[in-house]
Amino acid sequence: MAPANKVCILGSGNWGSTAARIIGKNVQKLADFDDTVKIWVYEEMVDGQKLTDIINTKHENIKYLPGHKLPSNVVAVPDAVEVVKDATHIVVVIPHQFIQHLLNTIHGHLLSNARAISLIKGIGISNQGMTTMTQIIHRTLAIPVASLSGANIANEIAEEKYCETTIGCSDPDEAIVWRSLFNTPYFQVNCVSDVIGVEFCGALKNVVAVGAGFIDGMGLGNNTKAAIIRIGFLEMRRLAMHMSDARIQDSTFMESCGIADVITTCYGGRNRRLAEEFVKTGKPMSQLEQELLNGQKLQGYLTAGEVHSYIDSSGITDHFPLFTNIYEICYRGKLPRTIFDGLNVDFSRDTLTPSPASKD
């Protein structure tokens, strides 16, 4: 009798390929899952060969995760519809600016019992409010959607260095299934019910990382960087408070998707690195992205613009001086040293939705 479940992955960049290494090994131990894991690859030529052919013959994504073998049961496919058509569990891990086009492509081609999990670290923020990736996926595909985010630099996970991550899933039984697909001795998964909070933290920390990169670019040291990280973290919590409809739980900020991800991204992520080069070279972010990221996308720069759109239209920019300064440095040509303007803000009265365990 064939296994009841089958997992696929939409996205084969650095993080998608790393997730494929984990899932490809885990499904072989799960009796309820088919061993084959299809991964959607945006087809491109690498050294004169199709990337899908390279992955399926060498079992390595030599462009986005070189030096790390993928399990042989991970099969690269260039057609997204082909990937999802027989999958019960869909892992979505592409740059957030491309999500809607991909969802439109696969709409109408899913199993009736399909469900998804978003590994995308980005959200849509406009003057109408915040739209998360899980909301966009659910709205388009009408399936249940969970989220995964944490202090997860992909190359370190591919090297099997110990770390943690957070899954946000409103259904406790589904959370157990998603955890079984991702959890390993070196990649420890904790599950919470706050789906949107997990996503929110994963996106907003990239803006803080841009600020940390500005500090590194100016060579101002660890004390200054720690101050920017602290203020950025508190502005993340404050923004969650302003978006009261989301009911983001304060305890989520203490998970791997919260404070831990802020710390690791501000010291080791690509958003920090490009912001540092932005200060040192004076080159535009778009140019640095092309020169340094090997086809990957920079999320913090885009999210900074989206956050500013929301706080500006809401008339609350004075409550977010760091996010405002980062936006103006990125988009308005202000000097990096203006990041400190107006940072003497009192956060002591900020409150958020308590976690379920603490409501009584």
The catalytic residue positions are 205
The CA distance from 51 to 42, in Å, is: 8
The CA distance from 271 to 257, in Å, is: 16
Q: 3-class SS at 353?
A: strand
Amino acid sitting at position 194: D
Q: 3-class SS at 50?
A: strand
- Lookup: tokens for 79: 């057609």
Q: Are 207 and 303 in contact (CB under 8 A)?
A: yes
Cβ of 70: how many Cβ atoms within 10 Å?
A: 25
Q: Are 179 and 89 in contact (CB under 8 A)?
A: no
- Lookup: tokens for 26: 């885990």
**Cβ partners under 8 Å of residue 324, min gap 6:** 308, 311, 317
* Strands lying side by side in the sheet with 74-77: 74-77, 37-40, 7-10, 89-92, 115-118, 145-149, 163-168, 187-192
∠ CA(136), CA(302), CA(160), 5° rounding? Answer: 80
The CA distance from 57 to 218, in Å, is: 45
Q: 3-class SS at 222?
A: helix
- Lookup: tokens for 196: 């949107």
